[in-house]
A and B are shown apart, each in its own frame.
Chain A
């Protein structure tokens, strides 16, 4: 087996695992915006747990795709063109989700926020499902011909594995997010997240385990079966720890579950990167899909320097924002304050409200003064 392509197969597996681990919880938090949060303050607590980090997490996806392009151009070309429509949907989901995070708070009306809340929740669900489906298909097979092109039309990629992979990542992301919220929030949200986690985890981790086992049945090896056992143990550990209230350890154990599960999937698939369901002779493997040794060598140097740095400064970000977020930390909503209220005359105050009245007492507890613009709709405290 060639060394450099193997190294890069491992590197790409690491990038995908990093993506599923990190964006896993922020995709989950996105879905929980509609499933878990009870009012606007809850939603803002949820958002602010991932606020400083979600964009950095998403770059793991870009890096995984870019590294696949550089290290295995034929894998990248075949996978992305075969999954044209599903990836289009993922892109649309990611666009709306990203814009929604930034724009949600920019206009202070219930309608505006609700619209973007849906964009976040549906976008997160769709992106998680699509990425899961794509990864499941690249590990279980696509109808590609000898040139690596999909045969059979726009939907020929569809298989039960796609659905399984989609649900696997969605449901994992949901419980991963609950474990994350239990760790990152305080007050009622924290305890509710932990309760939900304990209740849902045994069921929600099953689809991912099913995908793991499915790949083992297709192309498992003794070593990867051991990883499956470790994954099950880690999942059980996460559940027991969460019941005990050890939130940090439970989150860590869940992470270990993901790492073992992903390692067993990629390990079982190795060295095939896309099995062809038409003819095993058309399989794309790390040997026939990879770049030249020169390019892989160059990329190895860059990754050896770059990746540890990325992990270091992203870890630092989590340290900087380590404080638990609770309702008390959420400042009052403000859409925007007009410096030029319409037809303002000199010397006259802007229409009432724009000057910062005292705390209103509704909405969030313990916030600063309400700094709402004149036409503000009252915040939807408690739905």
Chain B
């Protein structure tokens, strides 16, 4: 591997990893804010418990997103200095704005939320969470504006070989971004939905398994109590409501991703036709949509690909909204790209050893073809499972089957897979460009950059391999730590996030419903709690 390939692996690994934490942060943050709002409005104890429990899991994950996010911002300059020099005038602005207008908001107000249970009034405390959540939306918006500019550059003119921003409005309302932002946000919510559903299912199953909840004569759940911290009748409400919220969120978000994804697909057929042709492994013009293809997708020879199940008309509908348009295949696009952007890299020093090489305009088709299908497949499975879960639990009971419970828990992974597959598809489908050319008649059609020119010329392959190995191993270790903590706290139930429940076993009467401090301290020991921080590291 040369420096370019190592740098690409590093960017891919660190970004996919970072984007495991981010959607959970965005999605779960919104869900916790809604639940805390329900507590604020109704004063019901179960909502407080849900806020505390899901808030705890939210924070364990949030910090990993923060920690790995710094790497993202630094590595543009570290590993991709030529890219940074080329795009800085237009790409740097959304990044700086993300830090200034989103990260500050997120981190500061989340700090207030975590530590402010007692110091702040209930309404102000809730507002802090909402502000942090909205900050995370802004963060998503700014970073996708930056990414969308790489997919579809707008609002610039070339000055001395570098794009200069001339129209900020065009950059910040890039149509690519305007559909990618809701698509990403719905994708994040899908993660949160499956997360709530899986963990709530586990606890309902556990309660039934432990004999706490029983089935009444009408088939409905009869919640019981056990002498275990947190395992009272309120606890049942916590989980059944979490399950239902999770399932509904999962279904809404699937609908959202489908609608926005369709819009995005239609845009991409115009903006990056090669990416979409590769997504379908459509070699010839007018190829149908295939559910399954076999053969060597990596081969550039289209005769190797055999569509096993093909549905005519669908691809045309995906691209144009009707069933009769002939969508261009890889072969004819290849000729167009060669005519427009050349057949070989120039002899510029920027390309290093690759100068003069032939340009491969077709992305790695295994990745685009299967990435596209995994994204849709995982997303669809999660939504279908959520619908099924709502039906199965309509009487407030989950089945006693351990296997179904395990499916529900491991189903948490499906939307993560869909998110990762979608990003890998869209980023690798853009190759060989790091900044894809904009084919619109918008006057910026000479603005593009080959990935081969983007890597830092002064950084050696040895340095890059050092950082790749270091970051990948640290990330692997931290993933184990995070998942173990999440599992531990998720299994521990509400009491793991509210130790005071240990002192208030089995009785919701002891929990004051009008408590304004999130029931700090154990009931029965008044006085102690006044001096003790409501939350402390």
State whether the Cβ of A56 lies closer than 8 Å to any Cβ in chain B: yes
CA distance A367 to B76 in the complex (A): 48
Closest chain A CB from B321 CB (angstroms): 36
State whether the Cβ of A154 lies closer than 8 Å to any Cβ in chain B: yes
Closest chain B CB from A331 CB (angstroms): 5
State whether the Cβ of A307 lies closer than 8 Å to any Cβ in chain B: yes
Residues of chain B within 8 A (CB-CB) of A246 are none
Q: A95-B71, A355-B505, A356-B522 are in contact. Are A70 and B456 (CB under 8 A)?
A: no
Number of A interface residues at 8 Å Cβ cutoff, please give it.
Answer: 101
Q: A66-B100, A69-B96, A95-B68 are in contact. Are A340 and B206 (CB under 8 A)?
A: yes
Give the contacts of B512-537 with A (CB-CB under 8 A).
Answer: 521-522, 525, 528-529, 531-533, 536-537
Q: Are B536 and A44 in contact (CB under 8 A)?
A: yes
Q: 0/1 per residue, B441-474, Cβ < 8 Å to A?
A: 0000000000000001111101100110011001
Residues of chain A within 8 A (CB-CB) of B66 are 55, 58, 98
Q: Are A81 and B229 in contact (CB under 8 A)?
A: no
Question: From DSSP, what is the main secondary structure of chain A's interface residues?
Answer: helix
Closest to B493 in A: A339
CA distance A58 to B73 in the complex (A): 13
Residues of chain B within 8 A (CB-CB) of A104 are 537
Q: Are A339 and B68 in contact (CB under 8 A)?
A: no
Q: Are A291 and B92 in contact (CB under 8 A)?
A: yes
Closest to A367 in B: B532
Q: A329-B533, A355-B505 are in contact. Are A85 and B228 (CB under 8 A)?
A: no
Closest chain A CB from B8 CB (angstroms): 16
CA distance A349 to B99 in the complex (A): 50
Q: Are B88 and A48 in contact (CB under 8 A)?
A: no
Q: Are A294 and B165 in contact (CB under 8 A)?
A: yes
Q: Are A306 and B100 in contact (CB under 8 A)?
A: yes
CA distance A65 to B470 in the complex (A): 22
Closest to A156 in B: B458
Per a CB cutoff under 8 Å, which of A85, A317, A325 touches B112? A317
Per a CB cutoff under 8 Å, which of B109, B470, B492, B521 touches A368? B521
Closest to B492 in A: A336
CA distance A349 to B225 in the complex (A): 12
* Stretch from B183-191, B365-373, B387-395, B496-504 contacting the other chain: B496-504
Per a CB cutoff under 8 Å, which of B62, B470, B494, B531 touches A339? B494
Residues of chain B within 8 A (CB-CB) of A65 are 73-74, 77, 99
Q: Are A354 and B502 in contact (CB under 8 A)?
A: yes
Residues of chain A within 8 A (CB-CB) of B68 are 95
Residues of chain B within 8 A (CB-CB) of A213 are none
Per a CB cutoff under 8 Å, which of A80, A105, A321, A339 touches B230? A339
Q: 0/1 per residue, B474-506, Cβ < 8 Å to A?
A: 100010010001001101111110011111010
Q: Are B206 and A329 in contact (CB under 8 A)?
A: no
Residues of chain B within 8 A (CB-CB) of A114 are none
* Stretch from A71-79, A198-206, A264-272 contacting the other chain: A71-79
Q: Are A303 and B460 in contact (CB under 8 A)?
A: no
Residues of chain A within 8 A (CB-CB) of B503 are 355-356, 369, 371
CA distance A13 to B373 in the complex (A): 48
Pairs A–B under 8 Å by Cβ, sample size 21: A52-B112, A55-B111, A65-B99, A67-B96, A69-B88, A70-B92, A70-B93, A71-B92, A76-B88, A77-B81, A80-B84, A95-B67, A105-B536, A299-B97, A328-B531, A336-B488, A346-B226, A355-B503, A367-B528, A368-B525, A371-B502
Query: 9 smallest A-B Cβ distances: which pairs?
Result: A73-B88, A339-B493, A80-B77, A70-B92, A149-B458, A77-B81, A69-B92, A66-B96, A81-B81
